Amino acid sequence: LHTPMYFFLLNLSLLDLGSISTTVPKAMANSLWDTRDISYAGCAAQVFLFLFFISAELSLLTVMAYDRYVAICKPLHYGPLLGSKACVHMAAAAWGSGFLYSLLHTVNTFSLPLCKGNAVDQFFCEIPQILKLSCADIYLREVWLIMFSVLVISGCFIFIVLSYVQIFRAVLRIPSQQGRHKAFSMCLPHLAVVSVFISTAVFAYLKPPSISSPSLDLVVVLLYSVVPPTVNPLIYSMRNKDLKKALLKLM
């Protein structure tokens, strides 16, 4: 399991564990003790950590698309292009970009004065819900943040799509059916994880306001905050023979 793909999977697992640990334990504790309290510092930490983990995960999924591209389209160059140092640098870049992105959003959000109560209408501190509590003119800030977020997500998404266009072109040129099946099986887990991650997040933030309601907002937030980190390990473990063998050996 000491290959670039599994090194990136290790980082993906840590990010999934971090993102789900940021929101779910606090929500469970509040439910058990029948309270909805969270401190101001705790709310800021929750916003920062959640954004950090999910933005770093998007960057890492983009890096993993490049890994699949090199493995299938340039197999003879796989070693030089994805050596141990290169993998460490790419993983560090994913974590670093997530940190900067999260810091920017958190500082911008909590620099606003909050004067419309202190009740966040969600099971964790979410930026759109916090912005509703602000009495400042947040239109320009909100537009700037949305444009920046769309730019980052679009850049990652376009890179992933272009990588898979090249991958599918290369796979279709493989003469044997067994070779094509093996190549597709390498890509399917990553494609499934990317699809779940991006589709839930896009639906959460780009759904029409006309269909918005407290119950629907709760379901949508659960979709993008809880579902991806929960199903990612299942997708990769169920589709991967090496992981199954390693797990059986460990047991």
- The CATH architecture that domain 4-250 belongs to is Up-down Bundle (1.20)
The number of C-alpha atoms within 13 Å of 103 and in the hemisphere containing its C-beta is 6
Rounded distance, CA 229 to CA 18, Å? 9
Q: pLDDT at position 112, please?
A: 78
Per-residue pLDDT of 111-143, as tens digits, reads 877 777 777 777 788 877 777 777 766 656 666
**Helix-helix angle 227-238:177-206, to 10 degrees:** 180
- What's the pLDDT at 2? 67
Query: For the segment 71-108, what is each residue's pLDDT rounded down to a tens digit?
Result: 888 888 888 888 889 999 999 999 999 999 899 888 88
Give the pLDDT of residue 18.
92
* Domain positions in the chain: 4-250
| Pairwise CA distance, residues 226 & 22, whole Å | 10
Query: pLDDT band at residue 224, thresholds of 50, 70 and 90?
Result: confident
Three-state SS annotation for the chain: CCCHHHHHHHHHHHHHHHHHHHHHHHHHHHHHCCCCCCCHHHHHHHHHHHHHHHHHHHHHHHHHHHHHHHHHHCHHHHHHHCCHHHHHHHHHHHHHHHHHHHHHHHHHHHCCCECCCCCCCCCCCCHHHHHCCECCCCHHHHHHHHHHHHHHHHHHHHHHHHHHHHHHHHHHCCCCHHHHHHHHHHHHHHHHHHHHHHHHHHHHHHCCHHHCCHHHHHHHHHHHHCHHHHHHHHHHHHCCHHHHHHHHHHC
Please determine, for residue 162, whether its predicted confidence score (pLDDT) is greater than 90. Answer: yes
**Rounded distance, CA 205 to CA 220, Å?**
9
For the whole prediction, is pTM greater than 0.85? no
Distance in Å from the first CA to the final CA of the chain = 16
Of residues 251, 242, 184, 249, the one with CA closest to residue 9 = 242
